[in-house]
Amino acid sequence: MTYPEIGNYGINSIDVEHEVPALSGFVVRELSRIYSNYRAEGGLSDYLQKHGIPGISGIDTRALVRRIRTTGALRGVLSVTDLDDQSLVEKAKAAPGLVGRDLVREVMSREVVGWDQRLDDWTNAEIGKQAIESSARHVVCIDFGMKWNIPRHFASRGNRVTIVPGDSTADDVLRLEPDGVFLSNGPGDPEPLDYAHQTIRGLLGKTPIFGICLGHQLLSLACGAKTFKLKFGHRGVNQPVLDLQTGRVEITTQNHGFAVEEDSLPDCLEVTHRNLNDDTVAGIRHREENAFGVQYHPEAASGPHDSHYLFSRFQERLGSGIKA
């Protein structure tokens, strides 16, 4: 984290976005000695210890980020037992890289579950809470490591929501009779996830599809595009993206280390959004089928909220044959 002091808010269960924090270590400049937010239920250090995650403070994190911005993403190691410099360097060198690894199976849900939790009025009052009727549209979310604020958006729009594991087949999904399928965010390299590519190919043309982040990359791969590892990933809540259809610039939340290779896009895919920092592809749509995706997080809890319209755009297409 590049902000100089971390932990003064504390931890609360209301803002949790997944069952467990999906990280291997946490690095900060200074850990706040107290937490004082009125909703806090505990401290950051206790939270990390509870989940077995090592953390370290006293690091010049901004200098570290400048190093990464020059050399590219680097492997690192945290240890509470081994303090020998050479040994730690060897451990870092031996650590597996991201390319070619399937990290989704480590974080995805393991069973089919219904979801009915909605957005809190204090965070997104403009959406409100629509009643979920028996005739409600059914959104099936394929979970590759999904943030919980995503199904909250779907439920708050009056949809019935079902979450399925990331390795579900197209037949598994279609048996649930979805009015639309959502492809979630998730960690790591999208190319080795052959099971997801096959599932998406089996769903194209049979139901509207909306993907974000990893889901956007998987949709692109399923259609014949390629992806590549960024020198340094897009991280943070201030990434500018241009909507090529409207000319509007959105400030977005992003957190990924891979991107879709524009030169590899097949004729069936069209670029709809572009990252203004490095001109990479930030959104695509299928020219023939009802499917689209973006490389960022429109659900952004706690913000920014510029991209909420994408959920409304998907909502309009649920159960319809309208092109994305």
Architecture of domain 5-94: 3-Layer(bba) Sandwich (3.50)
User: Catalytic: which of 141, 213, 256, 305?
Assistant: 213
Q: Which sign does the torsion angle of CA 285, 111, 303, 256 carry? A: negative
User: Catalytic: which of 234, 250, 299, 305?
Assistant: 299
Give the total residue count for the chain: 324
pTM, entire model: 0.90
299 an active-site residue?
Answer: yes
Instruction: Check: CB of residue 179 under 8 Å from CB of residue 208.
Output: yes
- Domain coordinates of the chain in residue numbers? 5-94, 104-317
DSSP 16-54: --SSS---S-EE-SEE-S----TT--B-HHHHHHHTT--
268 an active-site residue?
Answer: no
Nearest to 168, CA basis, from 188, 182, 187, 154: 182
Q: Which class does domain 104-317 fall in?
A: alpha beta
Per-residue model confidence (pLDDT) at position 248 = 96
223 an active-site residue?
Answer: no
Give the pLDDT means over successive 10-residue stretches in the chain (324 positions).
Answer: 94 87 93 93 94 94 93 88 89 89 90 88 52 79 95 94 97 96 96 97 97 98 97 91 96 95 97 97 97 95 89 91 52
Alpha helices (H) in 7-148, listed in sequence order: 44-50, 61-71, 85-94
For helices 214-222 and 194-203, give the axis angle rounded to 10 degrees.
70
